[in-house]
Amino acid sequence: MNWDIVKGKWHELKGKVQAHWGELTNDDLDVIDGRREELAGRIQARYGVARDEAERQIDEWMSRR
């Protein structure tokens, strides 16, 4: 799945994103609104990881979709 599909189906995928990254709040998910860079930033902030680690986690999550 590519990110354009994720962005288009964001409302459907929010639950799966929150299940994977449980520290993200509903407000975080609303602000993210399907934007990958915003998701990476929120993962960084909530989990205290570096940007490249957040991007790696997103890539890993995407490969399982």
**CATH label of the domain that carries residue 21:** 1.10.1470.10
Residue-number span of the structural domain to which 40 is assigned: 3-63
Length of the chain: 65
pLDDT band for position 2 (50/70/90)? Answer: confident
The two structure tokens encoding residue 29: 């998910």
Q: What is the pLDDT of residue 30?
A: 95
What are the E-state strand segments in 1-65?
none
Distance between the two ends of the chain, CA-based, in angstroms? 6
Q: What is the pLDDT of residues 5-59, one digit of tens each?
A: 888 999 999 999 999 999 999 999 999 999 999 999 999 999 999 999 999 999 9
Q: What is the pTM of this model?
A: 0.91
Residue for token digits 């993962």?
43
Backbone angle region of 45, left / alpha / beta, with phi > 0 → left and psi within -120 to 50 → alpha: alpha
Number of domains in the chain: 1
Q: What is the pLDDT of residue 19?
A: 96
